[in-house]
Amino acid sequence: MSIQQWLLILWARRLVILLTLAGVAAGGIVAGSRLPKTYVGKARIMIELATDPITGGKIEPRAFEGAVATQTALIQDLSVISRAAQFAGYAPMTEARTEAELRARESAARALGRGVVATNVPNSNLIDIAGYSGSYQEARKLAEAVRRAYIELSIQQQRSSAIRALVIMQQQMRIFLQQRTVASERRTAFERLHDVVLRDDGEDSDTETMAKIAKANTDDLQKMARRKAAAVDQSGNILALSRIDAALSAAQASLGPNHPQVQALMARRAVLAANVQAPAVAQNAAISVQSMMSQKVEQMLANRGVLAEGRMLLTEEYASDNLIRALAARIVTTAQQANVVNSGVTAVGAPNGPVEPIAPNFPVICIVSAILGLILGVQIAIVVELLNRRVRGIEDLARMGIPILSALHQDDDKGRAELAFDAAA
């Protein structure tokens, strides 16, 4: 069939189409008027880049989009919705005591969660929380309750994580302190066994003693050089001493041993004799000290291999001390995080939303009803036409192969009919 034939059929059955369209449209309007009204309330939050105010930790820019998407999904989590139901007054604030009460609260939270939608504002760190309800006051209250529950649970989760980490670090600290005590006991036993003192700066008493001996040897060499220089000058004292001895012998023979001149010569002789003997005594003492130092050095050199083990013990102590200091700093930081009141989520503005309901949307209902009514009316008109088929024009006769001599059709606006003959006939 041609398009013209279809149009003739639809035009002939136009009353059916119009009645169907009007009926469907009226039914849609009536049904829409009986639908419950739905209002929307919105609350907005901002995800901060600096998530940790204690350590200053920040979300990496390349991971920020994923972090915001994760937070958006968590807002619609059952734990957040359950807490929001308590804040909104849909559930008691007390904890569930029985399994049946817990299941009832979970069912209520799931039903409430179907009216909560969280969406990320494109190209930003803002998240819009939309709550749907039968009144605009309840819709705004629901959105604000979800926002408050999410922020509170974020803080609670951060504190719980910090407390768990703090417990683990405290246990690790006890282990480190025990290891430090064992290392200190091993060091003390080593010092007692080998009669050596290991200092905290990594040195030992033998090394310090060797350094002093080396310095003393340098000083002794300098003193010996000075003594050799002084020994050259002793020839004058020896000559003077021989002269005093000769004069003293002559004076004792002529004047007697108690004469004042004899006593003065004896005093001068004692002074010169002491000056002559002093370098030799000092040299003998230096030789004795040098011998003792050599023995001490040989003993310390024999202990050098043992001292290497002692330094390893000191290294273990230093490593334990570094671990303890680093862990102590982390414990202080984590303890501060356990008391933090900022979760990196900030509420932006007050909840808002339109006073007018967003559903049912009567213009859309009317348009959809009219389209459906038109489609249904066309289908009904075609069915009626097929059940009660009629000739609507010469095209129908031509399609069936019936010869046409003439056709009477309306030619002008005044309704005058005119007879036309078919030239083919």
Query: Residue 341 — very low, low, confident or very high, per pLDDT cuts 50/70/90?
Result: low
159 plus 51 within the same structural domain: yes
DSSP-assigned states of every residue in 205-216: HHHHHHHHHHHH
For residue 7, is pLDDT > 90? no
CB under 8 Å, gap of 24 or more: what pairs does 97-106 form? 106/78, 106/82
> What are the structure tokens assigned to 58, written together?
């920040």
Same domain, yes or no, for 21 and 45? no
179 lies in some domain = no
Q: Are residues 46 and 161 in the same domain?
A: yes
Average pLDDT of the chain is 76
Whether residues 149 and 59 share a domain: the answer is yes
Please tell me whether residues 249 and 226 are part of one structural domain: yes
pLDDT(213) > 80: no
The arithmetic mean of pLDDT across residues 178-204, rounded, is 77
- Looking at residue 144, its pLDDT comes to 92
Q: How far is CA 20 from CA 25, 28, 375, 380, in A?
A: 8, 12, 9, 8
pLDDT at 156: 86
pLDDT reading at 345 higher than 80? yes
Residue-level pLDDT at 129: 92
Helix axes 205-232, 260-302, angle to 10 degrees: 150
Clarify whether residues 278 and 374 are in a common domain: no
Contacts 24+ apart (CB under 8 A), 383-390: 384/13, 384/16, 385/9, 385/12, 385/13, 390/12
Q: Tell me, what's the pLDDT at 232?
A: 47
3-state secondary structure of 290: helix
CB atoms within 10 A of CB 366: 14
Q: Answer whether residue 280 shows pLDDT above 60.
A: no
**Taking the CB of residue 370, how many other CB atoms lie within 10 A of it?**
15
Q: Is residue 218 predicted with pLDDT exceeding 70?
A: no
Segment 20-33 mean pLDDT: 89
Tell me whether residue 241 is in a domain.
yes
Distance separating alpha carbons of residues 198 and 211, to the nearest angstrom: 15
218 plus 288 within the same structural domain: yes
- Based on the structure, what is the number of domains in the chain? 3
The pLDDT value given to residue 54: 54
Please say if the pLDDT value at position 222 is more than 60: no
Residue 357 · residue 37 · CB < 8 Å:
yes
Average pLDDT over residues 338-343: 72
pLDDT at residue 293 greater than cutoff 50: yes
Collapsing DSSP states into helix, strand and coil, what is residue 58?
A: strand
* 27 shares its domain with 46: no
| Residue 146 domain-assigned (yes or no) | yes
Residue 47 lies in a domain: yes
pLDDT in tens, 380-409: 988 887 787 766 666 666 666 667 666 666
pLDDT at 73 over 50: yes
What is the percentage of the chain residues whose pLDDT exceeds 90?
14
Q: Which amino acid is at 286?
A: A
Domain CATH code at residue 58:
3.30.1890
The arithmetic mean of pLDDT across residues 292-300, rounded, is 58
Confidence of residue 411 (pLDDT cuts 50, 70, 90): low
Predicted pLDDT at 421? 45
Residue 319 lies in a domain: no
141 in a domain, yes or no?
Answer: yes
Indicate whether 309 belongs to any domain.
no
* 425 confidence band (pLDDT: 50, 70, 90): very low
Asked if residue 159 lies in contact with residue 108, where contact means CB atoms within 8 angstroms, the answer is: no
Q: Say if residue 242 is in the same domain as residue 285.
A: yes
Residue 297 vs residue 23, higher pLDDT: 23
**261 and 290, same domain (yes or no):** yes
The whole-number pLDDT of residue 420 equals: 47
| Same domain? 51 vs 162 | yes
Question: Residue 130's pLDDT is what?
Answer: 93
- For residues 205 and 267, membership in a common domain is answered with yes
> Does residue 404 fall inside a structural domain?
yes
- Share above pLDDT 70 across residues of the chain, in percent, rounded to a whole number: 64
Is the pTM higher than 0.95?
Answer: no
Contacts of 150 (CB under 8 A, 6+ apart): 45, 74, 75, 80, 84, 129, 345
Over the stretch 38-57, which tens digit does the pLDDT of each residue have? 899 999 998 887 655 555 56
pLDDT at 375 over 90: yes
Which is nearest to 362 in space by CA: 135, 23, 33?
A: 33
Full domain range(s) for residue 261: 197-302
In DSSP terms, which residues pair with 43 in a beta bridge?
129
Q: What pLDDT sits at residue 268?
A: 73
Q: Which of 151-165, 189-203, 378-392 has the lowest mean pLDDT?
A: 189-203
